[in-house]
Amino acid sequence: MVAVAEHLKGRNFTAVRDWSPEDLKTLLALAAELKALQRSREPHLLLPGRALGMIFQKPSTRTRVSFEVGMSQLGGTALHLSASDLQLGRGETLKDTAMVLSRYLDAIVIRTFAQADVEELARHSRVPVINGLTDASHPCQALADLMTIRERLGRLSGVRVAYLGDGNNVCASLMLAGAKFGMRFVAATPMAYRPEPATVKLAMRVAVQSGGTVELTDDARAAVRGSDVLYTDVWTSMGQEDERERRLRDLRGFGIDEELVAEAGPQAIVLHCLPAHYGEEITEAVLHGARSAVWDQAENRLHAQKALLALVVR
């Protein structure tokens, strides 16, 4: 049976900023071990009889399925809790919801809009709370990103990551995670789509300590040259549908196509947290091409989140 470090039991995972590089390294090492066990069909029932509740106020494919399957593979059960089916939908407070659910469950995943709601739930929960996505942060995606980059390139420190498009929640979480591991991160976005200044400032401060760098530019080609990783995400996130036409105009020129990939390093890989919109932020040829590590990245959501659950659930 896999040995699991005990010092992280009971910890929340609401944002990348709250976990040290050492804690994240522990998680990535366990994720790699669990992936190998799953590939060889060896049982690893680290959480027998435990129950995970998943509150969803936004649609989900990868987050829901990977957490449900992952909890099952660890020997526990997962419950999908649509916000409309809970008393949250009729005005019950997050505080009261947390106090009730944490009497039933061993951990809670929440996928919602405001980061403050995740933090509020965590404050009043007696069990670990995991951020399954907010408008500001997507920390579970960052775990899978780190895992995939290390698998493909053999390292994290010194890796140059060019993130193109909208400096959104995915960009913010990966930027900070990369800073913790000494990566060279550059966000290529139009000025109006830059990541949130406070997050950039924090990431820059962390990068100085780790030997990494964080840069902002509006030149996509300059960002890509010499990069080891090209990363993008949808240009119109959930809740921004009425901005779609404006965003398509504003972000034109920041999509990843075969011509842009050719500007990168010879061993560069392409990442996308999915779902993809072909002809906008990425072309179908690139997403399914030889440089794409997107499908490994999607699979690694399962393994990274299993490691997270195994570490924090008592």
CATH number at residue 158: 3.40.50.1370
Q: What is the pLDDT of residue 1?
A: 60
Do 119 and 29 fall into the same domain? yes
Do 94 and 66 fall into the same domain? yes
Computed on alpha carbons and rounded to an integer, the radius of gyration of the chain in Å comes to 19
Does 7 map to a domain? no
Does 214 map to a domain? yes
Does 4 map to a domain? no
Q: What are phi and psi of 180, to 5 degrees?
A: -65, -25
Do 86 and 155 fall into the same domain? no
This model's pTM is above 0.95: yes
How many independent structural domains does the chain possess? 2
The three-class DSSP label of residue 207 is helix
Q: What does each of the 314 residues of the chain score in pLDDT, given as a tens digit?
A: 677 888 999 999 999 999 999 999 999 999 999 999 999 999 999 999 999 999 999 989 999 999 999 999 999 999 999 878 888 867 899 999 999 999 999 999 999 999 999 999 999 999 999 999 999 999 999 999 999 999 999 999 999 999 999 999 999 999 999 999 999 999 999 999 999 999 999 999 999 999 999 999 999 999 999 999 999 999 988 777 888 999 999 999 999 999 999 999 889 999 999 999 999 999 999 999 999 999 999 999 999 999 999 999 99
Do 91 and 163 fall into the same domain? no
Do 259 and 156 fall into the same domain? yes
Does 110 map to a domain? yes
Is residue 38 among the annotated active site residues? Answer: no
Q: Per the residue annotation, which of 150, 152, 247, 301 is the catalytic one?
A: 301
Does 159 map to a domain? yes
Residue pair 303/46 in contact by the 8 Å Cβ criterion: no
Is residue 273 among the annotated active site residues? Answer: yes
Do 24 and 99 fall into the same domain? yes
Does 1 map to a domain? no
Residue 127: give the domain boundaries: 16-137+301-312
Q: Per the residue annotation, which of 106, 166, 228, 233 is the catalytic one?
A: 233
Q: Per the residue annotation, which of 138, 152, 160, 303 is the catalytic one?
A: 138
Q: Is the peptide bond before 275 cis (omega within 30 degrees of 0)?
A: yes
Nearest CA among 218, 127, 111 for reference residue 165? 218
Is residue 171 among the annotated active site residues? Answer: no
Do 277 and 165 fall into the same domain? yes
Residue 293, Ramachandran bin (φ over 0: left; ψ between -120 and 50: alpha; else beta)? alpha
Does 11 map to a domain? no
Residue pair 37/1 in contact by the 8 Å Cβ criterion: no
Is residue 301 among the annotated active site residues? Answer: yes
Q: Per the residue annotation, which of 57, 141, 297, 305 is the catalytic one?
A: 141
Do 61 and 160 fall into the same domain? no
Q: What is the pLDDT of residue 82?
A: 86
Q: What is the pLDDT of residue 2?
A: 79
Q: Per the residue annotation, which of 50, 111, 291, 303 is the catalytic one?
A: 111
Do 245 and 157 fall into the same domain? yes
Do 290 and 163 fall into the same domain? yes
Q: What is the pLDDT of residue 251?
A: 97
Do 181 and 199 fall into the same domain? yes
Compute the distance between CA of residue 36 and CA of residue 50 in angstroms, rounded to an integer: 23
Do 222 and 112 fall into the same domain? no
Which tokens in the block code for residue 254?
Answer: 């920041």
> Distance between terminal CA atoms of the chain?
16
Compute the distance between CA of residue 273 and CA of residue 164 in angstroms, rounded to an integer: 13
